Amino acid sequence: MLAKRIIPCLDVKDGRTVKGVNFVNIIDAGNPVELAAQYAGSGADELLFLDITASHEKRSTITALVMKVAKEINIPFTVGGGISSVEDAAALLKAGADKVSLNSAAILRPSLIGEIADRFGSQCVVVAIDARLQDNRWEVFLNGGRIPAGKELFQWAKEAENLGAGEILFTSMNHDGTKSGFANDALKTLSELINIPVIASGGAGDMQHFADAFLLGNADAALAASVFHYGLIAIPDLKSYLKTKNIVVR
Q: What single string gives the DSSP state of each residue in 107-147?
A: HH-THHHHHHHHHH-GGGEEEEEEEEEETTEEEEEETTTTE
- Contact by Cβ (8 Å): 181, 203: yes
Report phi then psi at 182, rounded to 5: -80, 165
206 is catalytic: no
Among candidate residues 11, 45, 88, 176, the one labeled active-site is 11
Among candidate residues 51, 130, 212, 220, the one labeled active-site is 130
> How distant, in Å, are the alpha carbons of 6, 27, 172, 181 from that of 42?
11, 24, 26, 23
Measured CA to CA, the distance from residue 33 to residue 35 in angstroms comes to 5
Q: List, in sequence order, the alpha helices (H) in the chain.
A: 32-41, 63-72, 86-95, 104-108, 111-120, 153-163, 184-193, 207-215, 226-229, 235-244
- Contact by Cβ (8 Å): 107, 151: yes
Report phi then psi at 127, rounded to 5: -100, 115
Sign of the four-CA dihedral 4, 194, 212, 78: positive
118 is catalytic: no
Active site (catalytic) residues? 11, 130
